[in-house]
Structure formats: structure tokens, C-alpha cells
Amino acid sequence: MSKIFAQGLVCPLDKNNVDTDQIIPKQFLTSVSREGFGQAMFFDWRYLADGRPNPDFVINKPEYSGASILLTRANFGCGSSREHAPWAIQQSGFNVIIAESFADIFFNNSVNNAMLLIQLSKTNIELLFNRCAQGPQHWQIDLQSQEIMFGNNAAMGFNIDADIKQRLLSGLDFIGSSEQLKPQIADYEQSRKASQPWLG
């Protein structure tokens, strides 16, 4: 496993409280598949009413085409629990999101799709936006050493939950690792039935 978790172009989305209704509007939730959400990401911001791409929306700008790291601000992913939101972001080519904070359910959903979500202080987020203001940025993310590397030996450290780091590095099957506790699950069910028979 390479020590670089991700590397690529950074797209700065300068907004707070980006909600999942914006990330993937409801009309795309009728699908029964996990695929095909990439084009729908940020639909209402990304396309004009007549269907043409909105040239003012940052993701549509030619200098950010092919970006794989999304930089944004506080409370990203608030709102609905739809996992279609991280699917859409991932299928648009992003596998890292850097923000001041994330909504809980969105955070879990993203991690469950092997995406890396990096939370930084408001000051550090500001510093990153300032870098982006100077022109398109290519960064490398080293998950092992927990660093965002800007090139020329400049880097910024980040914190991450040890278990999440382990999961992302090992690529462990989410369900498979819990299934190792099957005997305990069966034991729990038995004692539950004995002490709270009304639960079934």
C-alpha cells in the first residue's frame, strides 16, 4: 500500500452548510442502483435552468476540471441521510474532502465508501483557501503520516480517528469485520430474549 492516499487537483467550494439536498437533489434519488450519480452532483448549482452548465459555478471552471480533492467550509453534508451524496461526489472523481466540520451521518456514509474526510480548524481552512486563491493547487495526502503535502516540502498535519485511519489503510470490509463477532451477537440475542421477552 502506497503511503500516499490521494493526490490531485483541489477544487475550492467556498460555502458553509452545504446540505445533501444541494449535493444531490431529490429527483435523482429514485434510482435503485449505486451508479450514475456523478453528473447529478450539485445539480441546481451546476446547471442553468435551460440545462447548460453554469459557467460561474466553481466545479464547472476549466481550471478545476479533473479535481479529486474538494475543499470546503463548515458543516458540510448536513441534512438528509442519503448516501447518494457521497456516491455523487465520489463518482465525480473526488475521494478526499477537506472541511472545517462535517455532519455526522454524511461523515459515516463517506467513510463507508472509503473516502477520506479531513477536518481542520477554521484558521487552517482559511490558509488552504488562501493557497487556492493563488492559482490551481495540486496536493498529496499522506494518510500514514497524516499530512497534506503542498510540494516544496510544505505540509499541514491533520487529525483522524485511529479506527477510521486503520479502516481506510487496510480497506477492511465494513460488514465482514463486524461478522467476526457473530458468536457475541447470538449470545446477546439470547440474553435479550430472556430479560426483555417483549422485544422478540
* Binder among 36, 44, 65, 193 for another protein (CB under 8 A): 44
Q: Which three cell numbers stand for residue 2?
A: 502506497
**Secondary structure (3-state) at 157:** strand
The region of 53-61, 72-80, 88-96, 128-136 touching another protein under the rule CB under 8 A is 72-80
Which strands form 138-142's sheet, in the order they lie side by side?
Answer: 116-119, 96-99, 69-71, 4-12, 138-142, 147-151, 154-157
* Binder among 19, 124, 140, 146 for another protein (CB under 8 A): 19
CB of 66 to another protein, least distance (A): 27
Residue window 106-145: x/- pattern of binding to another protein, with contact defined by CB under 8 A? --xx--xx--------------------------------
- Which residues contact residue 77 at a Cβ distance below 8 angstroms, ignoring those fewer than 6 apart? 18, 19, 20, 23, 85, 86, 102, 103, 105, 106, 107, 110
Interatomic CA distance for residues 25 and 85, integer angstroms: 9
**Secondary structure (3-state) at 196:** coil
Interatomic CA distance for residues 71 and 137, integer angstroms: 11
The region of 91-99, 105-113, 136-144, 152-160 touching another protein under the rule CB under 8 A is 105-113
The number of residues that bind another protein (CB under 8 A) is 55
Q: Does 101 engage in binding with another protein (CB under 8 A)?
A: yes
Query: 140 vs 146, which CB is nearer to another protein?
Result: 146
Name the amino acid, one letter, at 1.
Answer: M
Q: Does 95 engage in binding with another protein (CB under 8 A)?
A: no
Angle between helices 104-111 and 162-170 (to 10 degrees): 30
Binding site residues, another protein, CB under 8 A:
16-17, 19, 21-22, 25-27, 29-34, 44, 49, 73-75, 78-83, 86, 101, 103-105, 108-109, 112-113, 161-163, 166, 174-175, 177-179, 181-182, 184-185, 188-189, 192, 196-200
